[in-house]
Amino acid sequence: MKDAALRKEMVAICRRMNAAGINQGTAGNLSLRAGDGFLVTPSGMPYETMVPEDIVEMDFDGTYAGRRPSSEWRFHRDILKTRGDINVVLHCHSVYATTLACHYKTIPAFHYMTGVAGGSTIRCAKYATFGTQALSDHALVALEGRLACLLGQHGQISLGATLEAALWLAIEVETLSRMYVQVLTLGEPPVLPDDEMARVIEQMRKMSYGLAPDAEGINDAARARGG
């Protein structure tokens, strides 16, 4: 079986989506860049019964081998085709992210962790029927310069360079969504300014390369001592 190790890892991540509570039934789907094409979860199959052989191999022209691919294969294809910086597309109907998506709410910088999606907001895409090219087109707009978005009256998409990164981000988007829903019960929250979010995102970028953010003056003091 081609890409056996990748398929096995995809099945494991799918089951972790369920265990983390961000996916229910057959609602979510997952894709991974592989060679000149990509692998995507099959249509209408619960993750607990899915095995590596069920993962569908697709080309960017839309042809596939094996089972019928997820009905959302178009946005998986289009995102992977246009975003060379990512290798994984994860889609789910996590409850709080979907709650906000049903009201077309963009998640603002009410909390600095909004920056994990790559900007000062997590946008909500326009609604379109599931599985359509229109939905894919709307998702690409909402994801411009971002690693995650909400889909109007639908769910969320999170991207990553790896399967682990995409799963982590999807869980973080759901956590932020839950916090924002709760915050809204007290009224619209204050929002961090763009210049602060730019600093936050730069700190996050440094940390992704293993460079811990420095508390002001600490490293200067260490250098003064010869540390």
Active-site positions? 72
Q: Taking the chain, what is the end-to-end CA distance rounded to the nearest angstrom?
A: 53
> Helices then strands (H, E): number in the chain?
7, 8
Residue with tokens 């990553």: 160
Is the pLDDT score of 210 beyond 80?
no
What's the rounded Cα separation, in Å, for the pair 107 and 115?
11
Q: What is the pLDDT of residue 227?
A: 47
Per residue in 141-196, pLDDT (tens digit) is: 999 999 999 999 999 999 999 999 999 999 999 999 999 999 999 999 999 999 99
- Residue 159: exposed, middle, or buried by beta-carbon count in 10 A (0-12, 13-18, 19+)? buried
CB neighbourhood size of 36 (10 A): 7
Domain assignments of the chain as residue spans, ordered by start: 4-214
What is the pTM assigned to this prediction? 0.91
Q: 4-214: CATH homologous superfamily? A: Class II aldolase/adducin N-terminal domain (3.40.225.10)
CB neighbourhood size of 46 (10 A): 12
Burial 202-215 (b: 16+ CB within 10 A, else e): ebeeeeeeeeeeee
